[in-house]
Amino acid sequence: MSGHSVTEPSNRQKWISGLLVITYAVITIMPLLWIIATGFKSPEDAISYPPKVVFEPSVEGYVNLFTARTRVTPSMEETLPPPDTWYEQIARESGTVIVGPSRYGQRFLNSVIIGFGSTFLSIFFGTLAAYAFSRFRVPIKDDLLFFILSTRMMPPIAVAIPIFLMFRQLGLNDTHLGMILLYTAVNLSLSVWLLKGFIDEIPLEYEEAALIDGYTRFQAFYKVVLPQAATGIASTAIFCLIFAWNEYAFAVLLTSGTAQTAPPFIPTIIGVGGKDWPAVAAGATLFLIPVMIFTILLRKHLLRGITFGAVRK
């Protein structure tokens, strides 16, 4: 045996485990790289056999993603004035003309509005509730906390039936407000549980000192506790945002037009003739990249977020 501690893995062990983990990582990242690559392929390259790893990059997918086009015959094309923009030029090369913008931009914007709106509200209410659960003796506290968590156990489709009827009565179907309220409620369980954990970790002494100094409870809350909990609040907010961003079941059932978010929209993208995979991949890429960036930012708190604060490391 070598001289070092018995619990320290040997160099050979490290080498082998590193190799295996990296192999898995490369395999698992492949589909994601394939999405990004497909977005930069021409439609012909995207569906070639064998699948092309090396290809000539093209932005046709992105042009197709953001525009609505119609096919024109070569003779018709000759009668048109020459293309005045680079994207018109790209569309012409595949025998189409641009007739207007696509709906992707608007669907993406809906995702942003609903995502940020619901995140703000669930953090606002969640912080208040978490503080109260953490610091005060709330009657039936454990039951309330469990109740809040149990709302996450219901299949979304099961909840969607009465929500659909309720929204129909209130005129909230396919509105931003309706979706924001719904996602706020769904995210509340996450934000209360996570934030309670973060606030529990702030030593009581800080607040007690503030209270002795003559601060009111309320002042102690927003001048002492809130700044201390800032990191926790920020990471909880990102988790709420990611959930709202990714949500599909409610979105597909309760929105169809004005308030439709990107997840139900992206799979419905079709080209002028058949499924336009580069455009779908381009749409998916733009939609997935922000989450990947957030994942990197969040990596220290990831475990906590995905287990509702049950595992804290």
Judged by CB under 8 A, the chain residues 7 through 66 that form the site for another protein are: 7, 9, 13-15, 17-18, 20-22, 24-25, 28-32, 34-35, 38, 46-51
State how far the Cα of 279 lies from the Cα of 286, in Å rounded to an integer: 11
Among positions 249-278, residues that touch another protein (CB under 8 A) are 249, 252-253, 262-264, 266-267, 277
Question: Given the complex with another protein, which of 66 and 108 has the nearer CB atom?
Answer: 108
Q: What's the min distance (Å) between Cβ of 136 and another protein?
A: 4
The two structure tokens encoding residue 202: 């702030």
The two structure tokens encoding residue 284: 């998916």
Among positions 174-213, residues that touch another protein (CB under 8 A) are 181-182, 184-186, 188-189, 192, 213
Bond into 50 cis (ω within 30): yes
Q: What's the min distance (Å) between Cβ of 55 and another protein?
A: 13
Q: Judged by CB under 8 A, how many residues of this single chain contact another protein?
A: 105
State how far the Cα of 27 lies from the Cα of 4, in Å rounded to an integer: 34
Question: Given the complex with another protein, which of 98 and 282 has the nearer CB atom?
Answer: 282
Say how many Å lie between the first and final Cα of the chain, rounded.
Answer: 32
Question: Given the complex with another protein, which of 80 and 292 has the nearer CB atom?
Answer: 292
Spell out the residues 6+ positions from residue 72 whose beta carbon is closer than 8 angstroms to its own.
80, 95, 96, 97
Q: What's the min distance (Å) between Cβ of 267 and another protein?
A: 4
Among positions 281-300, residues that touch another protein (CB under 8 A) are 281, 284, 287-288, 291-292, 294-296, 299
Question: Given the complex with another protein, which of 114 and 280 has the nearer CB atom?
Answer: 280
Amino acid at site 236:
T
| Phi–psi pair at 67, nearest 5 degrees | -125, 155
Q: What's the min distance (Å) between Cβ of 30 and another protein?
A: 7
Question: Which range touches another protein (CB under 8 A), out of 56-64, 65-73, 126-134, 200-208?
Answer: 126-134
Among positions 135-174, residues that touch another protein (CB under 8 A) are 136-138, 144, 147-148, 150-166
Indicate the angle between helix axes 230-246 and 277-298, nearest 10 degrees.
160
State how far the Cα of 243 lies from the Cα of 90, in Å rounded to an integer: 36
State how far the Cα of 267 lies from the Cα of 131, in Å rounded to an integer: 41
Amino acid at site 48:
S
Check binding of 109 to another protein (CB under 8 A).
no
Count Cα neighbours of 236 within 13 Å in the Cβ-side half-sphere.
31
Question: Which range touches another protein (CB under 8 A), out of 55-63, 70-78, 90-98, 239-247?
Answer: 239-247
Question: Given the complex with another protein, which of 16 and 76 has the nearer CB atom?
Answer: 16
